[in-house]
Amino acid sequence: MNPADWPLPLFVVWLIMYAVIIFRAGGTYLLGRLARRGVSRIQRVERIMQSGRYQHAEQLLRRYGAAAVAVSFLLIGVQTVVNLAAGSIGMSLRRYLPALGIGGAVWALIYSTVGLVGLSAVATAYRENPAVTLGLSAVFVAAIVGLTIGLRRAESEPEPEPEA
């Protein structure tokens, strides 16, 4: 389901992808707004809002504001929590909508042109040489797991107190 393979003009593919991200991210923002009014009692929403990733997203939004929303569209696995946090902390629509518009436009451009080409490249590499592809994938996964563990350990270590 690579949008680059759709038999439509690029602009139409971009518009479709743009609509997808506007509705998805805007809906997540709306869910965050509703969470402020009690939807957070829903167990799944509450679990998301108590996660470390969500708490980090709130900190980013408080520090960088709407710019964090726009940049979140360039990062995999961050968009949802950032948009949810933007809604739950009460970011005004006047600030949120321009960030959503710009970030969503860039996201749609990436995914309508080259975003899913990587998946095709991995599939082609696997067809040509499965052993090398699986080996490189394992190394990549191990590096990500190691980085994640290292970052979590660094976050959990107490900071030394300054000397007087």
pLDDT in tens, 92-138: 999 999 999 999 999 999 888 876 666 677 788 889 988 988 898 88
Q: What is d(CA 136, CA 45) in angstroms, rounded to the nearest whole number?
A: 36
Residue ranges for the chain with pLDDT beneath 50? none
In whole angstroms, what is the distance from residue 124 CA to residue 19 CA? 30
Asked whether residue 39 is domain-assigned, the answer is yes
Task: Output the furthest CA–CA distance in the chain (Å, rounded).
Answer: 69
Answer yes or no: is 134 within a domain: no
* Whether 72 contacts 102, CB under 8 Å: no
Instruction: List CB contacts of 46: < 8 A, sequence separation 6 or more.
Output: 40
Residue 41 domain-assigned (yes or no)? yes
For the chain, what is the domain count? 1
Residue 78's pLDDT is 85
pLDDT at 86: 92
Q: Is 24 exposed, middle or buried (0-12, 13-18, 19+ CB in 10 A)?
A: middle
Its pTM stands at 0.65
What is the distance between the alpha carbons of residues 6 and 146, in angstroms, rounded to a whole number?
38
The reply to whether 59 falls in a domain is yes
Q: Which domain holds residue 108?
A: 7-128
